[in-house]
C-alpha cells in the first residue's frame, strides 16, 4: 500500500523573542528595586527604581533658588518702574517750569518797551526801569538753566533706565536658570523609575559577556549599562545552525516542526525566518571551533503558546521533502548491486530478487519509484538462501 513520506533535517537550538527591547541605565545610580526575572509585564509597568534622594534634594535646593530669583526679579522690576516714574516726573516738572518761565518772559518782553518809553518821558525813574531790566535778565538766565537741566535729565534718563533694565534682565536670567535646573532635577527623578516601553518577559542582564552573574537590587549601575532584556513573547523564534551540506536544501518560508525538551510530547509549527549568509565553524560543547562549517538559521514559531519562553532548548525538524501516497520500504530492505539496487519480495512463500529504482530516503525508509507495487511484501535484511 502507499504511504506518506517525509524527510527531515534535525538540529537543536534555543528559543528567544524575535523582537527584544534592552532597558539601560540613563545615569549612574544605585538600583533600589528590580522587577523579578520571569515576570510578564505590560507597557508602562515599573521595571527598575534607582535611589533618587540626591535628585530630590537637588530639586528642593533649586525650588528655593527659584523663589529667591523670583523675588529679586520682582524687586528689580519694581525698581525699574519707580525710577521710570521718577525720571518722567522730573522731566514733566522741568517742562512745566520752562513753560511758566517762557510765559513770564513773554509778558516781561511786552512791558519792557512801555517802561522804556515811560522812563524816557520821565514818568518813572531810571532806577525803576533798570530794576525791571535786571529782573528780566534774571528770568532769562533762569529759563536757560531750566532748559539745560531738562536736556541733562533727558540725556541721563536713558542710560540710567538701561542700567536698571540690565539688572532686570539679569534677574530674569537667574529665574530661567533656576527653572531649567528644576526641570532637569525632575527629569532625573523621572529617570529614576524605568517603565516597560512594551509588553514582554523580563530577563535580567548579565554583568558582563563572560560572567554568569546578573544584575540585582542594591548594585551600582553605570550609565548605558544594560539591566533588562524585554523580549516580546508573542513572537518567538529558535536560533540554530545547519551543516553547510544540508543548508542548500533550506529556503526562507520553508516548513519546520519544533519540539521542546521541557514538553517532549508537544510539536509546534514553524517556518524558516532567516538563513545566514556567512559560514562559521561549529563549536563543540567546550566552545572550541571544529572543522565542520555551519550556517545560522532562525526559525519562527507560528504557534502562540504561553509555554514558549526564551532560553528553552528546542529540537527543530526542517521538512525538506514531503510526499503523499508513495511506495516506501525500510532502509534495511534495500541491497546494493554492482550498478543497481534491489530488494527481496516475498510472494506466496517464495522470495524473488527484484531490481528497483530508488528516490529520496530518510533515517528509516526510502522511496521506491520503480520496480515495486503498493502492498507487496519485502524482506528486511538478507533472506535465507
What does the pLDDT read at residue 320?
92
Sign of the Cα torsion 142, 144, 148, 150 reads positive
The 3-state secondary structure of the chain reads: CCEEEEEEEEEEEEEEECCEEEEECCCCEEEEEECCCCCEECCCCEEEEECCHHHHHHHHHHHHHHHHHHHHHHHHHHHHHHHHHHHHHHHHHHHHHHHHHHHHHHHHHHHHHHHHHHHHHCCCCHHHHHHHHHHHHHHHHHHHHHHHHHHHHHHHHHHHHHHHHHHHHHHHHHHHHHHHHHHHHHHHHHHCEEECCCCEECEECECCCCCCCECCCCCEECCCCEEEEEECCCCEEEEEEEECCCHHHCCCCCEEEEEECCEEEEEEEEEEEEEEEEEEEEECCCCCEEEEEEEEEEEEECCCCCCCCCCCEEEEEEEEEEEEEECEEEHHHCEECCCCEEEEEEECCEEEEEEEEEEEECCCEEEEEECCCCCCEECCCCCCC
43: containing domain: 20-51+192-229
- Clarify whether residues 70 and 178 are in a common domain: yes
Nearest to 342 by CA among 353, 332, 352, 331: 353
293 within domain boundaries: yes
- Clarify whether residues 288 and 199 are in a common domain: no
- Clarify whether residues 241 and 344 are in a common domain: no
- Clarify whether residues 91 and 157 are in a common domain: yes
- Clarify whether residues 167 and 137 are in a common domain: yes
CATH of the domain at 355: 2.40.420.20
- Clarify whether residues 216 and 163 are in a common domain: no
- Clarify whether residues 162 and 103 are in a common domain: yes
CA distances from 134 to 129, 141, 182 (A): 9, 11, 71
- Clarify whether residues 60 and 162 are in a common domain: yes
Give the list of residues 6+ apart from residue 54 with CB closer than 8 angstroms, or none.
none
d(CA 305, CA 314): 14
Last-in-domain residue among 164, 188, 212: 188
342 within domain boundaries: yes
Given a contact cutoff of 8 angstroms between Cβ atoms, the answer to whether 33 and 213 are in contact is no
107 within domain boundaries: yes
How many domains does the structure of the chain reveal? 4
Consecutive 10-residue runs of the chain (385 residues): their mean pLDDT? 86 90 91 93 94 91 93 89 84 87 84 77 79 85 86 81 84 92 91 91 84 89 92 90 93 95 93 94 80 93 89 93 91 88 88 91 90 90 71
Given a contact cutoff of 8 angstroms between Cβ atoms, the answer to whether 374 and 2 are in contact is yes
Q: Going by DSSP bridges, is the β-strand pair 200-201/3-17 parallel, antiparallel, or unpaired?
A: unpaired
384 within domain boundaries: no
- Clarify whether residues 251 and 129 are in a common domain: no
101 within domain boundaries: yes
What does the pLDDT read at residue 120?
74
Please state whether the predicted TM-score (pTM) of the whole model is above 0.85: no
Last-in-domain residue among 166, 201, 229: 229
CATH of the domain at 267: 2.40.30.170
256 within domain boundaries: yes
Instruction: Give the distance between the most distant pair of CA atoms in the chain.
Output: 183
d(CA 216, CA 194): 15
CA-based end-to-end distance of the chain:
27
Given a contact cutoff of 8 angstroms between Cβ atoms, the answer to whether 287 and 349 are in contact is no
Given a contact cutoff of 8 angstroms between Cβ atoms, the answer to whether 60 and 262 are in contact is no
- Clarify whether residues 71 and 172 are in a common domain: yes
CATH of the domain at 29: 2.40.50.100
d(CA 267, CA 257): 6
Per the structure block, which three cell numbers stand in for 125?
525813574
CATH of the domain at 133: 1.10.287.620
- Clarify whether residues 267 and 305 are in a common domain: yes
Nearest to 335 by CA among 292, 371, 285: 371
383 within domain boundaries: no
What does the pLDDT read at residue 385?
58
15 within domain boundaries: no
d(CA 239, CA 31): 32
- Clarify whether residues 247 and 292 are in a common domain: yes
d(CA 258, CA 164): 80
Amino acid at each position: 500500500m502507499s504511504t506518506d513520506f517525509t524527510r527531515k533535517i534535525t538540529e537543536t537550538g534555543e528559543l528567544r523573542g524575535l523582537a527584544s527591547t534592552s532597558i539601560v541605565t540613563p545615569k549612574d545610580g544605585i538600583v533600589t528595586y528590580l522587577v523579578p526575572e520571569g515576570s510578564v509585564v505590560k507597557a508602562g509597568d515599573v521595571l527598575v527604581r534607582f535611589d533618587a534622594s540626591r535628585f530630590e534634594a537637588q530639586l528642593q535646593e533649586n525650588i528655593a533658588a527659584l523663589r529667591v530669583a523670583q523675588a529679586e526679579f520682582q524687586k528689580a522690576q519694581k525698581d525699574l518702574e519707580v525710577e521710570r516714574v521718577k525720571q518722567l516726573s522730573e522731566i514733566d516738572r522741568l517742562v512745566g517750569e520752562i513753560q511758566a518761565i517762557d510765559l513770564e518772559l513773554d509778558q516781561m518782553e511786552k512791558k519792557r518797551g512801555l517802561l522804556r518809553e515811560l522812563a524816557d518821558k520821565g514818568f518813572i525813574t531810571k532806577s525803576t526801569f533798570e530794576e525791571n531790566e535786571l529782573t528780566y535778565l534774571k528770568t532769562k538766565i533762569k529759563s536757560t538753566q531750566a532748559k539745560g537741566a531738562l536736556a541733562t535729565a533727558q540725556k541721563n534718563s536713558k542710560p540710567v533706565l538701561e542700567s536698571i533694565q540690565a539688572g532686570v534682565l539679569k534677574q530674569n536670567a537667574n529665574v530661567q536658570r533656576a527653572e531649567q535646573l528644576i526641570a532637569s532635577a525632575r527629569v532625573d527623578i523621572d529617570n529614576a523609575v524605568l517603565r516597560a516601553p512594551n509588553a514582554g518577559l523580563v530577563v535580567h542582564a548579565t554583568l558582563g559577556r563572560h560572567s554568569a552573574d546578573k544584575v540585582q537590587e542594591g548594585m551600582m549601575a553605570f550609565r548605558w549599562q544594560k539591566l533588562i532584556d524585554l523580549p516580546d513573547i508573542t513572537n518567538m523564534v529558535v536560533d540554530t545552525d545547519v551543516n553547510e551540506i544540508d543548508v542548500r536544501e533550506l529556503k526562507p518560508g520553508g516548513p519546520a516542526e519544533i519540539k521542546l525538551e521541557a514538553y517532549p510530547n508537544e510539536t509546534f509549527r514553524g517556518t524558516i525566518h532567516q538563513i545566514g549568509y556567512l559560514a562559521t565553524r561549529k563549536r563543540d560543547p567546550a566552545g572550541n571551533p571544529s572543522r565542520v562549517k555551519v550556517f545560522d538559521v532562525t526559525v519562527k514559531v507560528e504557534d502562540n503558546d504561553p509555554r514558549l519562553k526564551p532560553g528553552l532548548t528546542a529540537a527543530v525538524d526542517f521538512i525538506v521533502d514531503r510526499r503523499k501516497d508513495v511506495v516506501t520500504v525500510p532502509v534495511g530492505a534495500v541491497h546494493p548491486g554492482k550498478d543497481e539496487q534491489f530488494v527481496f519480495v516475498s510472494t506466496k512463500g517464495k522470495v524473488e530478487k527484484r531490481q528497483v529504482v530508488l528516490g529520496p530516503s530518510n533515517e528509516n525508509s526510502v522511496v521506491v519509484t520503480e520496480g515495486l507495487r503498493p502492498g507487496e511484501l519485502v524482506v528486511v535484511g538478507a533472506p535465507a538462501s
